[in-house]
A and B are shown apart, each in its own frame.
Chain A
């Protein structure tokens, strides 16, 4: 079955830039999406279609794509950005949705 691979954890100091990667063979064909999840809460969409930002999401959140890897970038990280981040996409045929394993972002 198709898989998306994320690093388990990323740590940054406040004000620095955090980059979270997600790799998958079908990413050149399918868009990637990113979610932020804080403890006890439902996930929140922060990036869609690789690099689009939903209304209400701060500009410090951005996304990019290169080949089989997509990247979520958080510029000027704030303490409130500490959360789990999940990438999501679809298989190459668009027949099912898949999530990455998640990355825990720690703000030091």
Chain B
């Protein structure tokens, strides 16, 4: 059974860079069939797609966040990572990692999510 697990600091200071890692188990991140993505949800609000990456390193990002986001992949560790720069309180959210098929856009497996708070 595929499992995804987010990890990283739960508290980040304003103007700094948020860094999270998603570890995939029960399947290979190098599968040619899937993209791997990040989604976030501010407390009490809706879902927002951040971006996705293919095992080859090909990425696509939410246009509204593109200038601050970098997603990378480490196939040797079966992990992919998110960096979000110049964070503000508006970036406080539960961050999820998830999988979607290469030729489609639905997210079929999700991590449990991790809360990241931006505060000094």
- Residues of A at the B interface (CB closer than 8 Å) are 1, 30-31, 33, 35, 37, 42-45, 48-49, 54, 86, 88-90, 94-102
Contact of B104 among A31, A95, A101 (CB under 8 A): A31
Q: Mark B79-107, 1 if CB is under 8 A from A, else 0.
A: 00000000000000000100010001111
A-B contact count (CB 8 A): 62
Instruction: Using CB atoms, name the residue of chain A closest to B94.
Output: A42
- Are B49 and A45 in contact, with the CB atoms below 8 A? no
- Residues of B at the A interface (CB closer than 8 Å) are 37, 46-49, 52, 60-64, 96, 100, 104-108, 110-113
Closest chain-B Cβ to A35's Cβ sits at a distance in Å of: 8
Instruction: Using CB atoms, name the residue of chain B closest to A102.
Output: B46
- Are B106 and A48 in contact, with the CB atoms below 8 A? yes
- Are B110 and A43 in contact, with the CB atoms below 8 A? yes
Chain B residues in 8 Å Cβ range of A96: 49, 60-63
CA distance A100 to B107 in the complex (A): 14
CA distance A43 to B61 in the complex (A): 20
Closest chain-B Cβ to A65's Cβ sits at a distance in Å of: 14
